[in-house]
Structure 1
């Protein structure tokens, strides 16, 4: 946990952003894998962690906006719990560390909420994403799950607060990046011809565990870099393959890192791989250099696509005017996702609260229908204190090509005949994490090698 004062100040800042009523936070539960007592590793809700710092299952909390107090609802360990898990720090003692003096048994929460309902007090709550939370909220508020209406004012208040990272949060993110950087270098050493994807994943997991970290998300380690979220690790890397490794860790306090590198299974890229990699790297570097407060991330995303289109024109896969191609979204045959996203306590920070609030504004809403741009999670103007990713890529997806070519879609911009030679190329992505500063940006964590020359030299040194 951070200091007691941290959580007191965060809750006070939240109270100042809201008017009246109560704020209800439900912590997460232990989720069973295949039967009740065999559970997934516990991960507390990130907003609960942010305001209370308590990584304890089956608890809830109230911030009373009118009486200026906070209460945590939960049960102390019974003798049966102690028999199975041993004596532990009491819930009351844990709460004291986050500046909460008042605790109450979990069963009393329903009584508290009922009194609030009877008094017609406003009950603010965030969008639930776990089924257990949806059911619990439905029972507490006496509203069908389908009719639960999260508080938009609370969502906006939390997003505004959590988006601006404190110095101690940056320190935690950089701890995660320190581990992730070494983890990626380990993957480069292991990712050779004849290696299985799962061997790299297992080695990285071991390294992360040795540094008291866990994966921040299921790692994407694959010879099929064109598959954006591949979670199957059964393939063997062969000659001519590239390894796409998108993986990060989170610290014991829950702060994430998110890095991607693409490198050859051999000691060098092929000439075609080198050309395609340089296009992505050029897009990465040009986009990164635009990061500063007041610039909309959507404009940076579109700039990144222009660099990609120019590079694809240079090697004959695209044609026509670059700006026109981007305006027609022709680039989305090769770049289907967004350039980046917010990051912090969640690898896709606050995504559970809704991208329309986290990544966009009421004045500049998200395009939810256009292929490619609808996957851009962040589009609003940047502010100092934001932490985000930059991750351009090129993905040659045979099934998508077949659909577009059958329609002769945007053929004025796409050279389908030339594209036949690239059908089984795969995909390339490069990703780093950045802090927006008053002057511009700062790369977070150690700089992980990314140039063609540095990657090839590293591979050759450990061949």
Structure 2
């Protein structure tokens, strides 16, 4: 099925599944959606960067501000959607001479139709004119689906024989339909990942050579590489954190010089956006020390790498994401015990399993690993549909953004980490399960996170992050020391 017309069919299938058995009866389903408009900052005429509303972008493939979309489907009953009866129409705004003077001509319907396959693309619309017409089968009841923020005028509804208007199903159906990526979406996400990986590798080379000496310059180089390679926008604000800055999970100041002593790490969590689709990749780069990891940096880095490798072993359809999250805490506890940051303390000669269980129940692993193992990825970097029942109150799961079993077609990030954050650690400053001298020795590492983007396949997964982006200590040092091209 052609892009993005296939998305309308996926959406309708979800709509029919949400209100069984009532939704399976014959009806004229009509979806009415408005795209984003250009906006200005506060009370000025300074335009903000335009970003199409994500659900609209997914259904339409269109980035023209002020557009609208309608889907008309005369459903004859049952669970299946008949593609031949789906009419998906994109409505572009009329030409505004003043807008053309300032911003140039927008793309024509003919231009868009070369890449966007819909029933029709045409210019000129008004809100009342796009509300549902009478169906060909006039005996069918009309159900008008809109997002919660759209309220059709009563006068319009009355003039078209009073269709039933509902906001109960469209948003949920969109969130569910967007979870499983189509082949075209995967193609776009692979391109975003390719550009992102190139930017990360180039940054490794520049930091290792000493050409970059502060977070600001590192971010500038990353973004410039993406722009040079066709990715105009970042999928999110880059996190470029040197040393102790990396102890803050979403550090985005990116304005500090690299520490001169001791040698440490630069955590770079950044991803390009390609045709609205996101990549989300994290790597850590040695700062100083001739481009090599110090012993402490290596210990923590290899701890996180071990966490990610254990998570990878479980990625397949049906996998329990919450169980993977719990496993991350288990692996972290065992590794930090072996390093010596954790200890048995009052448990004395208890088994490792008993000590690990105690460390987790006490909340100590959550101090060093406070976030979730990953999230859905797509048009939104934290893509929708992962929390149909909301967030968990369980301390180990409360920041998890995905709480449904994995399915074929999901794209997920896998991003375990280990951080040294004094504020988070404060309640445990007297803990008998921590070797505080050893902890002090490792504090300068700041934080480590390793993140890749995985497509869940029928039998396992495909890593969308290119394999040529270094991840092991040896491979990263090959680039940062100049030994690898």
State the partner residue of 1:337: 371
Shift of 1:189: 1.8
Shift of 1:71: 4.2
Q: Which residue of 1 aligns with 2:71?
A: 63
Question: Offset at 1:389?
Answer: 0.8
What runs of 5+ residues in structure 1 fail to find an aligned partner? 128-133, 143-148, 351-357
Q: CA deviation at 1:205?
A: 1.3
CA contact (8 A) 2:341 2:439 kept: yes
- What CA distance in whole angstroms lies between the structure 2 residues aligned with 1:227 and 1:201? 17
- 2:391 corresponds to: 366
Q: How far has the Cα of 1:449 moved from its partner?
A: 0.9
Partner of 2:272: 249
Aligned residue number for residue 263 of structure 1: 285
1:86–1:227 Cα change, 3 Å: same
CA distance in 1, matches of 2:216, 2:151: 41
The aligned residue for residue 307 of structure 2 is 283
- Is the 8 Å Cα contact of residues 76 and 91 (structure 1) preserved in structure 2? no
1:78 and 2:99 matched: no
With over 3 angstroms needed to count, the CA separation of the structure-2 counterparts of 1:372 and 1:425, relative to structure 1, is farther
The residue number in structure 2 matching 1:459 is 480
Question: Which residue among 238, 242, 254 is the counterpart of 1:233?
Answer: 254
- Return closer, same or farther for 1:54/1:141 CA change in 2, 3 Å cut-off: farther
Question: Equivalent residue for 1:13?
Answer: 10
2:201 matches 1:185: yes
- Superposed CA deviations along residues 153-177 of structure 1, whole A, max 9, x for unmatched, are 3233223322222222222111111
Of 339-348 and 184-193, deviating more is: 184-193
Q: Give yes or no for contact 2:359–2:365 (8 Å, CA) kept in 1.
A: yes
Describe the SS at the equivalent of 2:169: helix
- Are 2:231 and 1:215 aligned? no
2:107 to 82, 89, 94: 89
Using the TM superposition, give the Cα deviation of residue 34 of structure 1 relative to its aligned residue in structure 2, in angstroms: 5.9
* Per-residue deviation, 1:99: 1.7
Q: Superposition pairs for residues 145-156 of structure 1, below 5 Å?
A: 151-156=167-172
Change (3 A) 1:461 1:338: same
Q: Tell me how far 1:377 sits from its aligned partner.
A: 0.6
Secondary structure of residue in 1 paired with 2:278 = coil
Corresponding position of 1:325: 359
8 Å CA contact 2:280, 2:452 repeated in 1 = yes
Once residues 50 and 305 of structure 2 are traced to their aligned partners in structure 1, the CA distance between those partners, rounded to angstroms, is: 37
| Cα separation, partners in 2 of 1:41 and 1:361, compared to 1, 3 Å | closer
| Secondary structure of the structure 2 residue equivalent to 1:284 | helix
* Residue 452 (structure 2) aligns with: 432
Q: Given that residues 398 and 424 in structure 1 are in contact (C-alpha distance below 8 angstroms), is that contact kept between their aligned partners in structure 2?
A: no
1: CA distance, partners of 2:356 / 2:104 = 65
Shift of 1:89: 3.3
Tell me if the contact between 1:246 and 1:261 (Cα under 8 Å) persists in the aligned partners. yes
In structure 2, the gaps of 5 or more residues are 16-22, 76-85, 135-139, 156-164, 345-354
CA 1:272–1:85 in 2, change beyond 3 Å: closer, same or farther? closer
Q: Relative to structure 1, is the Cα distance of residues 141 and 315 closer, same or farther in structure 2, using a 3 angstrom cutoff? A: farther
Is 2:322 the partner of 1:298?
yes
Aligned pairs for 1:371-386 within 5 A: 371-386=395-410
Q: What residue in structure 1 maps to residue 175 of structure 2?
A: 159
Report the RMSD for the aligned CA atoms in angstroms.
3.0
The superposition leaves residues 418-456 of structure 1 with CA deviations (integer Å, 9 ceiling, x where unpaired) of: 434444431001111111111111111411211112212
Q: With structure 1 as the length reference, what TM-score do the two structures score?
A: 0.83
Q: CA separation in 2, counterparts of 1:184 and 1:319?
A: 36
Asked if the contact 1:391/1:431 (under 8 Å) is kept, the reply is yes
- 8 Å CA contact 2:246, 2:447 repeated in 1: yes
Give the drift of 1:202.
1.0
How many correspondences in the alignment? 428
User: Which structure is larger by alpha-carbon Rg, 1 or 2?
Assistant: 2
- Relative to structure 1, the CA distance from residue 86 to residue 370 in structure 2 (aligned partners, 3 Å threshold; closer, same or farther) is same
Asked whether 1:171 is paired with 2:190, we answer: no
The answer on 1:27 being equivalent to 2:35 is yes
Looking at structure 2, the residues matched to 444 and 247 of structure 1 have their Cα atoms a distance apart, in angstroms, of 15
CA distance in 2 between partners of 1:290 and 1:452 (Å): 23
Alignment of 1:111-122 (within 5 A): 112-113=130-131, 122=143
The C-alpha deviation readout for 1:362-399, integer Å capped at 9, x for no partner, is 5xx630x3445211111321111111111110011111
Partner SS for 2:3? helix
SS at match of 2:269: strand
Q: Structure 1 90/361 Cα, relative in aligned 2: closer, same or farther at 3 Å?
A: closer
Equivalent pair of 1:248/1:257 in contact (CA under 8 Å): yes
CA contact (8 A) 2:180 2:409 kept: yes
Distance, in Å, in 1 between the alignment partners of 2:305 and 2:415 is: 10
Residue among 393, 397, 401 paired with 2:421: 397
Deviation string for 1:302-324 (max 9, x for gaps)? 11221111111112222342134
